[in-house]
Amino acid sequence: MLKSFLEIEQQVKDEKQRTIAVAMAEDSDILVALERARSQGLAKAILTGEKAKILSILSENQIDGKEYDIIDSAGEKESVAEAVSLVRHKKAQVLMKGLCSTSVFLKGLLDKENGLRSGKIISHLALFESPNYHKLLMMSDAAMNIAPDISEKICIIENALNAAHKIGYHNPKVAIISAVEKVNPTGIPSSADAAIIAKMADRGQIKGGIIDGPLALDNALSLQSCEIKGLKTPVGGETDICIVPNIETGNAFYKLLTILGNAKVAGIIVGAKSPVVLTSRADSEESKYLSILTALKAS
223 binds a second copy (CB under 8 A): no
Distance between CA atoms of 123 and 141, rounded to whole angstroms? 6
Among 48, 93, 249, 299, binds a second copy (CB under 8 A): 249
> How many chain residues interact with a second copy (CB under 8 A)?
42
Residue 118 CB, nearest approach to a second copy (Å): 23
Q: Give the residue from 269, 296, 280 showing the smallest Cα distance to 122.
A: 269
Residue 200 CB, nearest approach to a second copy (Å): 20
Give me the amino acid identity at 246. N
Residue 238 CB, nearest approach to a second copy (Å): 14
245 binds a second copy (CB under 8 A): yes
257 binds a second copy (CB under 8 A): yes
Residue 253 CB, nearest approach to a second copy (Å): 5
Nearer to a second copy, 120 or 255 (CB): 255
Distance between CA atoms of 35 and 57, rounded to whole angstroms? 12
260 binds a second copy (CB under 8 A): yes
Give me the amino acid identity at 82. E
Give me the amino acid identity at 190. S
178 binds a second copy (CB under 8 A): yes
Give me the amino acid identity at 107. K
Question: Which helix (H) or strand (E) segment is 84 a member of?
Answer: helix 76-88
Among 247, 273, 285, 286, binds a second copy (CB under 8 A): 247
- Gyration radius of the chain's alpha carbons: 20
Distance between CA atoms of 112 and 134, rounded to whole angstroms? 42
Cβ-Cβ contacts under 8 Å for 26 (sequence gap 6 or more): 49, 50, 53, 54, 57, 98, 99
Nearer to a second copy, 2 or 45 (CB): 2
Among 150, 188, 200, 206, binds a second copy (CB under 8 A): 188
Contact 271, 122 (CB under 8 A): yes
Q: Give the residue from 155, 71, 86, 149 showing the smallest Cα distance to 116.
A: 86
Distance between CA atoms of 110 and 169, rounded to whole angstroms? 27
Nearer to a second copy, 113 or 259 (CB): 259
Nearer to a second copy, 24 or 220 (CB): 220
Q: By rule CB under 8 A, what string of x and - marks binding of each residue 102-141 to a second copy?
A: ----------------------------x-xx--------
Report the SS3 class of residue 186. Answer: coil
Q: Contacts with a second copy in 224-243 (CB under 8 A)?
A: 225, 228-229
192 binds a second copy (CB under 8 A): no
Residues lying near a second copy in the complex (CB under 8 A) are found at 130, 132-133, 142-143, 146, 177-180, 187-188, 190, 216-218, 221-222, 225, 228-229, 244-253, 255-263, 281-282
